[in-house]
Amino acid sequence: MKAENSNRTRIIGLRLTPGEYATIEKKWKSSDCHKLSDYVRHVLFNKPVTTTYRDQSTDDLMAQVMVTHREVNAIGNNFNQVVKKLHTLQQLTEFKQWYAEYQIHRRILSTQIETVKNMMQKLIESWLR
């Protein structure tokens, strides 16, 4: 018994007006299909197509969350650069005391930043699906 070849080897060329293409593209982008070809196959073969709905307020919120996410990453990078610079100043006695306190606060801050970053990443990923 021969196994059936499941590779797609046949191509269909189709010409559309800009308006027709815009209509199909709009429907595709509101679906859960990642590729336009997947969407067209679903429609042609009467397979169910799951569409999503996004409201403007959620889109605005997610845009702001993404900006905040980038800023938190930048703050963390800047903080690490400052600390590396401070490591060169370990000759001072007062600095050693400050450094011990800093380590405690750094751990707390790092934990909080990681929590916020993880939450933002999960929100971004769920929004992009």
Predicted local confidence at residue 1, as pLDDT: 47
Rounded Cα–Cα distance for residues 57 and 63 (Å): 10
Q: What is the pLDDT of residues 64-112, one digit of tens each?
A: 778 778 877 877 777 777 777 777 665 666 677 777 777 887 787 788 8
Q: What is the pLDDT of residues 19-68, one digit of tens each?
A: 999 999 988 888 878 889 989 999 988 898 877 666 667 777 777 778 77
Cα–Cα distances in angstroms (integers) from residue 126 to residues 16, 43, 77, in the given order? 33, 25, 26
Q: How many CB atoms lie within 10 A of CB 39?
A: 20
